[in-house]
Amino acid sequence: MQYNVISQLDLADMPQDICGISPTQVAVAYNNYDSYEDYDAYDIAFEWCTIQFLTVNSRHIALDRELTFKHRCYGIAHYKSSLYVTSGTELYQYTLGCRMLKTIYGDPSDLYTGKLP
């Protein structure tokens, strides 16, 4: 099978995660630093991220909107009109309009925490 590129979009930085929102929209999470070389996993002062919502159709990809959060974003998921974002130490539930509903889990005792199976 052969595929043809029909559209492309330069992204703001190196994505941390991506999830589907609808058949025509995806959300892409970025931690905000100047370049990948500047990334320090143990830099506790690094405390904000951006999630971009991209509209995708059969002809093009376009930036729809962009939200900024005051924590890191290592993973995102969408379920029943909520956006779930993990910072590595907390799990947050947001509306798609960026209103925080609640912190589901939080353990700031280390850089990355959580329950493993």
- pLDDT tens, residue by residue, 31-74: 876 544 545 554 545 567 889 999 998 889 999 999 888 888 88
Q: Report which of 88, 93, 90, 92 is spatially closest to residue 112, judged by C-alpha positions.
A: 88
Q: Running DSSP on this structure, what letter comes out for residue 34?
A: S
State the CATH class of domain 17-35+44-106. mainly beta
Torsion of CA 14, 15, 16, 19, to 10 degrees: -170
Q: Which residue has the tokens 């951006």?
A: 50
Question: What amino acid occupies position 81?
Answer: S
Strands 25-31 and 90-95: unpaired
Question: Which pLDDT band, with edges at 50, 70 and 90, does 105 fall under?
Answer: confident
User: In the predicted model, what is the mean pLDDT of the chain?
Assistant: 81
Q: What is the pTM of this model?
A: 0.77
